[in-house]
Structure 1
Amino acid sequence: MSLTITSPAFRNGEVIPTRYTRDGENRSPPLEWRDAPPETKSFVLLVEDPDAPSGTFRHWAMYNIPAGEAGLPEGASAQGLRGAGEGVNGFRNARYDGPQPPKGHGPHHYHFRLAALDVPRLDMPAPAKAEDVWAKALPHIIAEAEVVGVYER
């Protein structure tokens, strides 16, 4: 088996409910994963929108997620996760900020990318940009999975 990530809030390729967008409650959706490699020492999560007019837009990065975790509850960004850090997103916030594509721009695809790492933690300067978190994680990725949600205004 290989690493997989899903959300009880939406199926892969389906619409993200409004409550998880900036048009709604702006809460991070619940996520679940399974089949991480046994050598996993931590996880990193990146949420990005490659359909943004100015290029890929990052909505969230959470890193130093302990290897024993099998998901994140709804609102994990607001609640915090002991030991985990959050990168600065495209809105310049070190937290989850959900979808908010330009009105009339059509459907945008939000990639929730999870990586299993071979290190227990990434030493990141605070505040670190979301893309820098992923760049630091890249050499340590031993497995990767994603679930994609769609949203349009």
Structure 2
Amino acid sequence: MSVPSPKNHQPTYLDDRFPGPDPYGPLTDLPTFTVTSDDLTDGARLAGAQLGGNDISPQLSWSGAPEDTVTYAVTCYDPDAPTGSGYWHWAVFNIPASVTSLAAGVGDDELIGLPEGAVALRGDCGRRGYYGAEPPAGHGPHRYIFAVHAVPTRLSIPDRSTPTILGFNLNFQASARALIWGWAEN
């Protein structure tokens, strides 16, 4: 019997404050790389700009992805939403490999700041832009996990698809995943 290798996925976002599961636990274990932000600190409370009503997507930068990366996908997901399926706040894919950062606010409803070729899907709020954190009052703190996936190909996903379809495709096609998260409570 072989001993399984240690998982690359070492979640920092698991603790007893949050009611939801580890959304990346059951997915394909992928190598990681580095993602940072000028607007959020990993594991810290989200700033007002990233909350619902303000809806300003945070600045994100990444490095160390596999050399064969052709595109990136960026998502924001709340696994603690009282839905049984979490809540998608943002989903963008086919970001060219030459792009290794997104400025704050590129996830606005006009999507003007997204790199050429990038595709934004409608999140659970029905918008293609970033929808800020807005957990139900009294439900406790929620995690908002920003994932950057490195993909060795362009994804052929219709722009009317859901973030769940994107996530399914990323599970089988991404070559690496980097995570950064914050939390909010109302």
User: Structure 1 length as normaliser, TM-score?
Assistant: 0.93
Choose from 66, 77, 81 the match for 2:107.
Answer: 77
Measure, in 1, the Cα distance between the counterparts of 2:114 and 2:98.
16
Unmatched tracts of structure 1, length 5 or more: none
Residue in 1 aligned with 2:151? 117
Higher strand share: 1
What is the aligned residue count?
151
Q: CA deviation at 1:4?
A: 1.2
Measure, in 1, the Cα distance between the counterparts of 2:32 and 2:156.
27
Query: What secondary structure does 2:176 align onto?
Result: strand
Measure, in 2, the Cα distance between the counterparts of 1:105 and 1:2.
31
Deviation sequence 1:66-90 (CA, Å, 0-9, x none) = 1011111001122332110011111
Q: CA deviation at 1:129?
A: 0.8
Deviation sequence 1:52-109 (CA, Å, 0-9, x none) = 1113111010000110111110011223321100111111112211111001111110
Measure, in 1, the Cα distance between the counterparts of 2:46 and 2:115.
23
Residue in 2 aligned with 1:11? 41
Measure, in 2, the Cα distance between the counterparts of 1:8 and 1:144.
19
CA RMSD of aligned residues (A): 1.4
Measure, in 1, the Cα distance between the counterparts of 2:74 and 2:49.
20
Higher helix share: 1
Larger Rg: 2
**Structure 1 moving runs of 4+ over 2 Å:** 78-81
Identify which of structures 1 and 2 has the higher relative contact order when contacts are C-alpha pairs closer than 8 Å and 6+ apart.
Answer: 1
Measure, in 1, the Cα distance between the counterparts of 2:164 and 2:75.
8
User: Structure 2 length as normaliser, TM-score?
Assistant: 0.77
Asked if the contact 1:2–1:37 (Cα under 8 Å) also holds between the matched residues in 2, the reply is no
Unmatched tracts of structure 2, length 5 or more: 1-30
